[in-house]
Amino acid sequence: MQKVTTNTLQGYMTTMIEHQGRVLTVAGTDPTCGAGLPLDIRMIAHLGGLPQAAVTAITVQDTARVSMVQPVDAHLVAQQMRAALDDIGVDCIKLGMLATGAIVRAVLDTLDAHPTLPVIADPVVAGTGGGMLLDPEGLALWRRELLPRATLITPNLPEARILADIPDPTPEALITALARRGCSVLLKGGHGEGPMVRDLLLHRGRLHTHEHPRLPGPPFHGTGCALAAAIATRVALGDPLDQAVAKGLATNLQAMENGSAPGRGQRLLGIKLTPPPTPEALRPNHSCNAENITMANVLPPLLNGGP
């Protein structure tokens, strides 16, 4: 939805558009564009949102493994966020890979100036193949300060176990422990077992269960990024959180069903963007009278100093 305001400035007509659906993704890059910030941008645009981005880390990865992560300076991350917040504006923030404690602190400090802005946080703390993607200081800040600030966190089971740090690893115990920190929790069940995937949402004291059949074949790359971006976009467009989660899960499942395996590792999601316009649609819808645009008409005024 857009509100359009028209002003006249120095004889020119200007149009200012107040957007809804403005999503700022704060995440790392991915050369495959199958995860991280590039995938977030694709999903936000796919759902009709306006994507903006702040880069937190440059990664070297493919569909099989992550081989290098180079964090961006924390001050630069904060400056990128403020550039989006202070100009176009933001209706919802999606957080992905934050990499270091310094970046988590910079994000928290930036959020302090926007206390009511919804935050959908995907806790990228460990890689699928093992290894931590967030340093110990960042993990401590996530637990102590980011959990209470987030509107919704979207951990998978391994991430929830790391964040909750409790002896009981059952999904019900994990989601309850995390929700006690002050945020709503969507605990994703993709790392579980059995023929059905069971996703649990604990929001405002109510437990919502979403289930779908487990898709056969190799695992997917970027599902967590895409899901959090989809939910953030639905929130930015005005959906209540529980509806945003339901729509985000449905969108993500459809992207998985449309997925493919172009590389030697995980499958990539299939996000269908709007088809390109046909040549007929690109033809101008106005006519031009060429007789009125001749050198005889144009040159004399120019030679005489006219406009």
Nearest to 94 by CA among 1, 252, 249, 224: 224
- Name which of 138, 133, 139, 192 is nearest 165 in CA terms: 139
Q: Model confidence over 267-299: pLDDT tens digits?
A: 999 997 665 556 565 555 544 444 443 444 444
Q: Model's pTM, two decimal places?
A: 0.85
Q: Which CATH architecture has domain 18-268?
A: 3-Layer(aba) Sandwich (3.40)
Q: What are the φ and ψ backbone dihedral angles of 258, each rounded to 5 degrees?
A: -95, 10
Residues composing the chain: 307
Domain parsing of the chain, residue ranges = 18-268
* Cα of 268 vs its chain's centroid, Å: 16
* Residue-wise pLDDT tens digits, 62-117: 999 999 999 999 999 999 999 999 999 999 999 999 999 999 999 999 999 999 99
- Spell out the residues 6+ positions from residue 12 whose beta carbon is closer than 8 angstroms to its own: none
User: What tens digit of pLDDT does each residue of 181-232 get?
Assistant: 999 999 999 988 889 999 999 999 999 999 999 999 999 999 999 999 999 9
Q: What pLDDT score does 168 carry?
A: 84
